[in-house]
Structure 1
Amino acid sequence: MAADSHCPYCALQCAMTLTPDPLAATPVTVAGRAFPTNRGGLCKKGWTSAELLRTPDRLTVPLVRRDGELRPATWDDALGMIAERLAALRREHGADAVGVFGGGGLTNEKAYVLGKFARLALGTSRIDYNGRFCMSSAAAAGNRAFGVDRGMPFPVTDLDDADTILLLGSNVAATMPPFLGHLSGARAAGGFIVVDPRRSQTAQLTADGAGIHLQPAPGTDLVLLLGLLHVVLADGLADTAYLEARTTGFDAVRRSVAGWWPERVQEHTGVPVGQLRVVARRLARGRGTFILTGRGVEQHVDGTDTATAAINLALALGLVGRPGSGYGTLTGQGNGQGGREHGQKCDQLPGYRKITDPAARAAVAAVWGVDPAVIPGPGVPAVELLGMLGQRPDGVRALLVHGSNVVVSGPDAGAIRSGLEALDLLVVCDFVLSETAELADVVLPVTQWAEEEGTMTNLEGRVLRRRRALDPPPGVRSELDILADLAHRLNAPSTWPTDPAEVFDELARASAGGVADYSGLSHAVLDAQAEIGEAAHWPYPAGSTGTPRLFLDRFGHDDGRARLVAVRARELTTGRRPGELTLITGRLLEHYQSGAQTRRVPELVTAQPEVRAELHPATAARLGIADGDRVVVGNSRGAVTARALLSTGMRLDTVFLPFHFAGRQCANLLTEAAVDPISAMPEFKRTAVTVRPAVEEEAA
């Protein structure tokens, strides 16, 4: 029987229908389904997603390391060993000696139970997730400015009628191709403006009068935004009535941008003065104007301030909360929004509640049936957590990993590998032997997207139903079952339901009254709404019909006003020594995140089989490199062997690597574990490297 569900990849969460077909090469056939986000379209990853369900190396039995090798084990033996070792480590070293690392691809139900398990069954504060590498700067900026973090506070279809869209740091043509349909109006009006140091597939869509491509030096996005706001204010383009009625903090922001006149901005960013003025005026005078940010401007040590500067610009123009205009940020992972709302983050409880808030702790504890004092306080964010792995007095000696491949996706990946190898116990739940799972002491095989029920929350804050289309392979279990079993073995308080609908009902109760209130939702409500496009945008308190558009009347702060926050550009140096280039990283159309999924799909691997280092031809000529040559991109942290890809769309001072590959092709061997002081987002987009031709041994 066919099941209506959603794609297992990005946060656009394209709708699809899955039909079991025992005669086909894959266990289900995939068809695009009419839905507001994708309108029946899918990208290459979506069309080939069913191939993952029966990949030849699919795990179907637990693996336990014995005599240095991972060997098959029974579920009872594997879970018994995990529980025994966790209990012993807690007794000897304390609860915080055990850490949990989650993922932005987990369903809301799994993310909720994982947070509950960490705090009640393990008693640890040491939990965070890979969304810290993705949305944390945008989330921090949104909370600071609006009092609410919802990636897009409006439906994506609102973009259809815009004539001006400023897109900063996102290559949507590669990351979520069906999204491009929502940009066609702005392109037709000549108002599609893309900010990217490279001429990406998305930047190329500005050609032939469709818009403008601004190509700033890597790491100068904040200066660019300060300069745009300077022009808006200096030229009298700000919406002063809106600022007076709906915001606070304008005077400080006005003073903070006074020194960023266009000529100075051009000197630091490389963006011509004329382009700055044209863009500022277009943003102010468009009939419908949106500003959207992505990881390219957020994955920096000043990412929160950069996202804040984009918000300041949107507020000064009066865009936020006004029908037909707005500000938003493009969530990356499939459940990047819901995954950060219900307990995976180190400082949050379900409903996007602060773990330090006594009222929030009491509300969640009441649902869990425990004393609030039992719930640990805030932990540490992902990069710090991964830096604590190993046998030291305050170290994390055991780590449970769910839905993440940290040895590929984390910054300074070589150091992360060393930390994982130093653990007393590493447990990984996955469907294949990922690069992280290869290092584990125990690997537990888990169900995949088409084999389970649950919910996801997409980039618009729309809560969606994931529906089961087929049975999982024999021997595979859901993480809800696994965590409940371990909770019972550890004598954890509270109840531990395993039915996803029942878990969601508990999540809804725990979120009631929180910022991300799901209390009016259930699987039954979402199933009933399927006929009207699953229009369940949070907050969705009991008795409501949801909130597709936030901020129409007020913002999330107590006084109802948005906060403009003055931010300063960091010391403007290149960060490079003579002979070095700036490495930026990103995604390819055919691959996703760490590549653990897409590198197992033959069609996608054939199209993009290896890492390519994208360079400007003049830079390559200076370095003695020809198109297709093997090169080594390196710094003090590591070296990546890649094939050169020459492109005039690159800046002369920049090299681009995709981050989907492992081993000697892993881009994050080079990135630094430096983080934004507010969001703890790593600096992925501005790394100093050298590039040289590979010698014969390295190329081999």
Structure 2
Amino acid sequence: MTDLLLKYFREKEQKVQSEKVYNTQCPFCSMQCKIQLVEQTVVTRKKYSAQGLDNPTTQGRVCIKGLNAHHHAVHKDRITYPMAKGEDGQFHRISWDKALHLIKENFTEIQREDGMDALSVYGGGSLTNESAYLLGKFARIGLQTKYIDYNGRFCMSSAASAGAKVFGIDRGLTNTLSEIPESEVIILAGTNIADCQPTIMPYFEEAKANGAYIIAIDPRETGTTKMADLHLKVKPGKDAALSNGILKVLIEENLIDESFIDERTNGFDEVQEHVASFSLEEISQSTGVAEAEIQKAAMKFGKAATGTIFTARGVEQQTDGHMAVRNFLNILLVTGKIGKPNCGYGAITGQANGQGGREHGQKSDQLPGYRSIENPDHRQYIAEVWGVKDTDIPGKGVSAYEMMEKVHQGEITGMFLMASNPIVSNPNATLVKNGLKKLKYLVAVDMFISETAELADLILPPTSYLENEGTLTNMEGRVMHREGQRRIPGEAKHDWKILCEVARVMGKEEYFTYETVEDIFNELRVASRGGMADYYGMTYERIKEKEGILWPCPDTTHEGTSRLFEERFHHADGRAAMMPVSNEPSIQKEEPSEEFPVYLTTGRVMAHYLTGVQTRKTSALNARFFESFIEIHPSTARKYEIEDNSLVKITSKRGEIVVRSKWSTDIREDTVFVPFHWAESQNVNNLIPRELDPQCRMPGFKTSAVKVQPFTAVI
């Protein structure tokens, strides 16, 4: 009888067992690794396994976050139907019709009472190109407001603005990743790729095997600096001064390419005069880097036949991030290491679609194709694509944090939030939270009740990366197609469909009549045509066939552009623009004082992504880092009577947080490090100043002054 029962259950299990395979790509960092996810169903239980798929960028590699990315998409806490906050302060399920009615009613009333610009739109750098494009159109045509910006402002704005000013164009990498292994000297400035973009590491490891000399610039020792031949352990916020020191040595030792400078650049004489005005000793004292190390870095880079420079948040998330990046680009230009094989610049993009997200209209000052919203010709072109008058397109708004200030001041009274968690990601986070509480109506499009969504009046459920088809642009500038094969759960909708439906109830349906996501991409192609970021020559078919195409791609016979600036830069005269960069920023940064004696810098850990809303839903990732921490040098810890693995109160002029200590000799004695993936009492952005870079409006996440002390619980 037992054997018969076993046979029966085996046959039943085989009948109900099924397997589904989803080809997708990781929703986290800008490498956008291709992934195959296998979903096995046995009776009612589902099991998942993931592996990398071969592709031109990562060649089948995938990191721990990518292998576990699906967990948040299938998590039990995921929102799958609209929810409105009731009088009891709790969220209750409602229909889509009711949700859309509430938006129409409240948004219409806000604009009637407070003006069209009282509404704002806040986006995210993980949206597809199609959704990012549509969000910009939705704000300006669907809601007729000038106030739109996104969390990518806190990621790439310094590098983006610097590249546009120096080269006339901003693409993450001027060359492809495949050229890295053949570069003789590589400078990694403010980037910890070992933790943040681990699947890029093999390119640098191959370069090392080929004899490359790697220079890392970082206040901390990391997995990235351990790979380097020379580690310049700079004081936080002193990157512009350090790059001036390198420039000074290059010029004074005549390690420059005079013919390149004469034929392809402007501004060298002013740079040369500027670096002659200070001594290398001054630079050393300011940066904390020995003169001999600065000289060694410059000599190695200057004498090499080929070289590349990569920057990331350590350099860019400063109130002089724009100018600091410009100075690293000055180094490339004076040595002529740009527009040539195995030479160039790379801005290590942070978010999945940080590159594409800033190209097509989410930024307050941009229209699709990287066009300027203040340029009359650009406005006219986009108006024709959209079928409106150029006067119907609102003017320039303000940056992401500045929108939050306007919320706090009562100038913005309604917000449509998509794919972002600004309470955790903004500087001066307490002010942001208090401001959002004042809104008359907040709509959040989110898969989870994040710290920000918790304050919303209405939450709308979007699809995840497994269900939402579209294109994304990786750190190279390679436009890739992501399939959305998984069945949509519950009543969730694609974010682009949500935008179309809200536009419909706001009376703008005629401008949002898309049947498929490919329809949106085809309009985006036309909107970008002739712009800085030209996608016109790409189609879904071509992108799939070629496994991605690098922009600019101006027509359907074009293969895409692997290497920029081989013959000319993108300014009208074809030349790159150099300019002197001050050792001290125009916006004064916080320096340690008697009251706040330690530098604070922030960053990521490998297991988590951005504000942690998604990765903290994954037990395999959360187990690695289930709480925040402060990395502190043992001598500094002893000075302030802080034991290892103990609770520490960190205080700045803005507020305080409590995290656990982690002793480490990998960090400077005058500096502490705290990751930014946690909220509430562990949210390090509660400590960050509000001052912004005057060029790109980037906050100074990487430099603030704090006090550290043992935490004593009050009973």
Cα gap change, 1:364/1:220 in structure 2, threshold over 3 Å: closer, same or farther? Answer: same
Aligned to 1:569: 583
Deviation at 1:324, TM superposition (A): 1.4
Higher Cα Rg, which structure: 2
Aligned to 1:144: 165
Match of residue 603, structure 2, among 562, 566, 586: 586
Q: What is the CA–CA distance in structure 1 between the aligned matches of 2:161 and 2:546, rounded to whole Å?
A: 32
Deviation at 1:202, TM superposition (A): 1.1
Cα gap change, 1:26/1:385 in structure 2, threshold over 3 Å: closer, same or farther? Answer: farther
Contact 1:620–1:646 (8 Å) recurs in 2: yes
Match of residue 689, structure 1, among 696, 706, 714: 706
Match of residue 324, structure 2, among 280, 299, 306: 306
Q: What is the CA–CA distance in structure 1 between the aligned matches of 2:50 and 2:536, rounded to whole Å?
A: 32
Aligned to 2:448: 432
**Is 1:254 paired with 2:268?**
no
Q: What is the CA–CA distance in structure 2 between the aligned matches of 1:444 and 1:482, rounded to whole Å?
A: 8
Aligned to 2:507: 491
2:283 is matched by which residue type in structure 1?
V
Contact 1:463–1:538 (8 Å) recurs in 2: no
Gaps of 5+ in 2: 1-19
**Is 1:549 paired with 2:567?**
no
Q: What is the CA–CA distance in structure 2 between the aligned matches of 1:56 and 1:474, rounded to whole Å?
A: 12
**Is 1:198 paired with 2:187?**
no
Q: Which moved more, 1:381-390 or 1:408-417?
A: 381-390
Cα gap change, 1:587/1:26 in structure 2, threshold over 3 Å: closer, same or farther? Answer: farther
Q: What is the CA–CA distance in structure 2 between the aligned matches of 1:45 and 1:305, rounded to whole Å?
A: 33
Aligned to 1:385: 403
Aligned to 1:124: 145
Q: What is the CA–CA distance in structure 2 between the aligned matches of 1:22 and 1:161, rounded to whole Å?
A: 46
Can you list the C-alpha shifts for 1:574-624, whole angstroms capped at 9, x where unaligned? 612125211100000100100011111001111101011000000000111
Q: What is the CA–CA distance in structure 2 between the aligned matches of 1:42 and 1:383, rounded to whole Å?
A: 33
Contact 1:37–1:178 (8 Å) recurs in 2: no
SS in structure 1 at match of 2:690: strand
Q: What is the CA–CA distance in structure 1 between the aligned matches of 2:413 and 2:479, rounded to whole Å?
A: 36
Q: What is the CA–CA distance in structure 2 between the aligned matches of 1:29 and 1:455, rounded to whole Å?
A: 24
Can you list the C-alpha shifts for 1:503-534, whole angstroms capped at 9, x where unaligned? 1001111111111111111212212223xxx2
SS in structure 2 at match of 1:455: strand
TM normalised by structure 1 equals: 0.96
Match of residue 396, structure 1, among 394, 403, 412: 412
Can you list the C-alpha shifts for 1:531-551, whole angstroms capped at 9, x where unaligned? xxx244334434322111111
Aligned to 2:391: 373
Can you list the C-alpha shifts for 1:156-213, whole angstroms capped at 9, x where unaligned? 111011221100001000001111101014433251110000112211222xxxx111
Aligned to 1:560: 574
**Is 1:661 paired with 2:678?**
yes
Contact 1:197–1:650 (8 Å) recurs in 2: yes
Cα gap change, 1:574/1:66 in structure 2, threshold over 3 Å: closer, same or farther? Answer: closer
1:378 is matched by which residue type in structure 2?
K
Contact 2:589–2:703 (8 Å) recurs in 1: no
Q: What is the CA–CA distance in structure 1 between the aligned matches of 2:705 and 2:287, rounded to whole Å?
A: 17
1:376 is matched by which residue type in structure 2?
P
Q: What is the CA–CA distance in structure 2 between the aligned matches of 1:574 and 1:454, rounded to whole Å?
A: 42
SS in structure 1 at match of 2:691: strand
1:180 is matched by which residue type in structure 2?
M
Q: Residues 211-226 of structure 1 correspond to what in structure 2 (within 5 A)? A: 211-226=229-244
Deviation at 1:673, TM superposition (A): 1.3
Contact 1:633–1:690 (8 Å) recurs in 2: yes
1:119 is matched by which residue type in structure 2?
R
2:338 is matched by which residue type in structure 1?
V
Q: What is the CA–CA distance in structure 1 between the aligned matches of 2:326 and 2:443, rounded to whole Å?
A: 38
SS in structure 2 at match of 1:521: coil
Cα RMSD between the aligned structures?
A: 1.5
2:473 is matched by which residue type in structure 1?
T
**Is 1:618 paired with 2:618?**
no
Cα gap change, 1:372/1:149 in structure 2, threshold over 3 Å: closer, same or farther? Answer: same
Aligned to 2:24: 5
Q: What is the CA–CA distance in structure 1 between the aligned matches of 2:125 and 2:515, rounded to whole Å?
A: 20
SS in structure 2 at match of 1:450: coil
Aligned to 2:312: 294
**Is 1:18 paired with 2:37?**
yes
Aligned to 2:54: 34
TM normalised by structure 2 equals: 0.94
Deviation at 1:634, TM superposition (A): 1.1
Q: Which moved more, 1:25-34 or 1:560-569?
A: 25-34
Q: What is the CA–CA distance in structure 1 between the aligned matches of 2:21 and 2:541, rounded to whole Å?
A: 18
Contact 1:517–1:541 (8 Å) recurs in 2: no
Aligned to 1:346: 364
Gaps of 5+ in 1: none
Aligned residue pairs total 689
Q: What is the CA–CA distance in structure 1 between the aligned matches of 2:46 and 2:575, rounded to whole Å?
A: 52
Deviation at 1:262, TM superposition (A): 2.0
Q: Residues 385-464 of structure 1 correspond to what in structure 2 (within 5 A)? A: 385-390=403-408, 392=410, 395-464=411-480
1:65 is matched by which residue type in structure 2?
K
Q: What is the CA–CA distance in structure 1 between the aligned matches of 2:349 and 2:237, rounded to whole Å?
A: 20
Q: Residues 352-367 of structure 1 correspond to what in structure 2 (within 5 A)? A: 352-367=370-385
Contact 1:612–1:644 (8 Å) recurs in 2: yes
SS in structure 1 at match of 2:543: helix
Deviation at 1:26, TM superposition (A): 5.6
Can you list the C-alpha shifts for 1:280-324, whole angstroms capped at 9, x where unaligned? 011012243111111101111111000000000110111111111
